[in-house]
Amino acid sequence: MNLGPHAAFIVASYAIAAAVVAVLIGWIAFDNRAQRRNLARLEAHGVTRRSENSA
């Protein structure tokens, strides 16, 4: 694949696109982990939602 005289710009575009997507995925995964940890901690303290108590 020959990218011509402006190869640096093309490679940079794709690299930044990959970086932006990676940051989004990383942030969402990290956020998910943090929320699950918080929920688990609260449940360990015996705090549950009303709907789960009645069920």
Partner 1 sequence: MPLIDLANPTRYLQLSGRALPWLIAITAAACVAGLYLTANAPDDYQQGATVKIMFIHVPAAWLGMFGWAMMSAAALGTLVWRHPLADVAAKAAAPIGAAFTFLCLVTGSLWGRPMWGTYWVWDARLTSVLLLFLMYLGVIALWRTVEDPSRAARAAAILTLVGAINLPIIKWSVDWWNTLHQPASVIKMGGPAIYSTILIPLLVMAIAFTLLFMTLHVAAMRNEILRRRVRTLMLMQAQTAPGSGA
- How far apart are the C-alpha atoms of 12 and 4, rounded to whole Å? 14
- State yes or no: residue 44 binds partner 1 (CB under 8 A): no
Q: Please give the helix or strand (H or E) that residue 14 lies within, else none.
A: helix 7-44
Cα angle 31, 35, 37; round to 5: 115
For residues 14-33, which are near partner 1 according to CB under 8 A? 14, 16-17, 20-21, 23-25, 27-28, 31-32
Which residues of this chain interact with partner 1, rule CB under 8 A?
1-7, 9-10, 12-14, 16-17, 20-21, 23-25, 27-28, 31-32, 35-36, 38-39, 42, 45, 47-49, 51
